[in-house]
Amino acid sequence: MIGNAGNDTLDGGQGTDSLVGGAGDDVYRLDVLGDTVSEAASAGTDRVELALSAGGTYTLTANVEHATIVNATPSVHLVGNAENNALTGNATANNLSGLVGDDTLDGAAGDDSLDGGVGNDSLVGGLGNDTLIGGTGNDTLQGNEGNDLLSRRQRRRRRDRSVRPGT
């Protein structure tokens, strides 16, 4: 399926698909990990929406900035790329890895593991007992509800105890 120069929503439906975006802000809806996405450089701000029936690892392709898990699938591991990514989990236990760039990771509900990687990242655990690992750079870690472990790659560790939600 091939998009055009506008803001496209590309959904191949069930099965393995090849989705190619155009010059706008495109949304790619994926239902299996075998779906492929192709996006040109500097062709808008693009997002992948994962509605998977099985868990696994999904790595953002080059030139796609955002990914969101939109259904209650088994555990999914989202891996970013060299862009400034926004990765959003769901109600199950997710692993979100930002890699390089100034990333925003939001675990949502579930017992999540978030790793910002290199860059100035913002990590929000959401509900559940989460592990948030800042990388190199000036990171913001927010555990929210649950017993969360907040850590920097340099091995300084802090636990949040009875902290007000949102602080």
pLDDT digits (tens, 9 = 90+) for 13-51: 898 999 999 899 999 999 999 999 999 888 899 999 999
CA-CA distance, 28 to 75, in Å (whole number)?
20
The label of the residue with tokens 């910002």 reads 116
Q: Note the pLDDT tens digit of each residue in 45-102.
A: 999 999 988 889 999 999 999 999 998 667 889 999 999 999 999 999 999 999 999 9
Would you say 26 and 11 are in contact if contact means Cβ atoms under 8 Å apart?
no
Total-model pTM: 0.87
Cα-Cα-Cα-Cα dihedral sign, residues 17, 23, 29, 33: positive
Q: Residue 60 region, left (φ>0) first, then alpha (ψ -120 to 50), else beta?
A: beta
Q: Which of 65, 124, 121, 120 is nearest to 94 (CA)?
A: 124
Whole-number Å distance between alpha carbons of 59 and 79? 4
